[in-house]
């Protein structure tokens, strides 16, 4: 048996604390929190169908949070995780902005729907920022080969 003082649960809690302090961890944690708030707002409104976007985006954010926190992205090399995260964040931003605009514009008399729409617009901006930061990471890690100055073509 191994001589360790920490249990696996303590190790997981330590990974959680250190990952939330990173930029990506903070963004994903706020995305999860905003999605949860949006689910509550849409569930309290007269039109609960808009909560599907928030539910799916919260589930995907939780999956990516756990994957990145536990470093499963480094173990599962057959998936290009930055591009997958870029598509997740980009599609989330687009869906949140569209559904939130529909809710804010057509939500007269339904305060919970308007509140969900406002939080959805904030979440759309956050998801867009997440997609932008992932895009910058992909752009900076991609090798840039300078153009050849050789006259022999």
Q: How far apart, in Å, do the first and last CA atoms of the chain sit? A: 64
Q: What is the pLDDT along the chain (153 residues), one digit of tens a residue?
A: 455 555 666 688 888 888 889 999 999 999 999 999 999 999 999 887 889 999 999 999 999 999 999 888 888 888 888 999 999 999 999 999 999 999 999 878 888 999 999 999 999 999 999 999 999 999 998 765 555 565 665
Tokens of 142: 């991609």
pLDDT at 8: 65
pLDDT at 87: 96
Burial 43-52 (b: 16+ CB within 10 A, else e): eebeeeebbe
Radius of gyration of the chain (CA): 20
| Rounded-to-integer distance, Cα 26 and Cα 18, Å | 10
How do the domains of the chain map onto residue ranges? 19-139
| Rounded-to-integer distance, Cα 142 and Cα 11, Å | 33
pLDDT at 83: 93
> What does the mean pLDDT of the chain come to?
87
pLDDT at 9: 64
| Rounded-to-integer distance, Cα 109 and Cα 111, Å | 6
pLDDT at 1: 46
DSSP 3-state assignment of 110?
A: coil
DSSP element (H, E) containing 137: helix 111-141
């Amino acid at each position: 048996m191994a001589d360790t003082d920490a249990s696996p649960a303590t190790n997981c809690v330590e990974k959680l604390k250190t990952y939330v302090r990173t930029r990506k961890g903070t963004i994903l944690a706020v995305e999860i929190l905003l999605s949860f708030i949006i689910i509550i707002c849409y569930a309290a409104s007269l039109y609960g169908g808009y909560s599907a976007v928030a539910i799916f985006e919260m589930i995907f954010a939780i999956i990516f949070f756990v994957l990145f926190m536990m470093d499963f992205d480094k173990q599962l090399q057959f998936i290009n995780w930055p591009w997958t995260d870029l598509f997740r964040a980009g599609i989330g931003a687009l869906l949140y902005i569209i559904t939130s605009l529909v809710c804010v514009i057509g939500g007269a008399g339904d305060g919970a729907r308007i509140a969900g729409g406002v939080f959805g617009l904030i979440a759309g901006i956050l998801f867009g920022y997440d997609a932008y930061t992932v895009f910058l990471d992909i752009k900076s890690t991609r090798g840039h080969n300078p153009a050849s100055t050789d006259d022999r073509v």
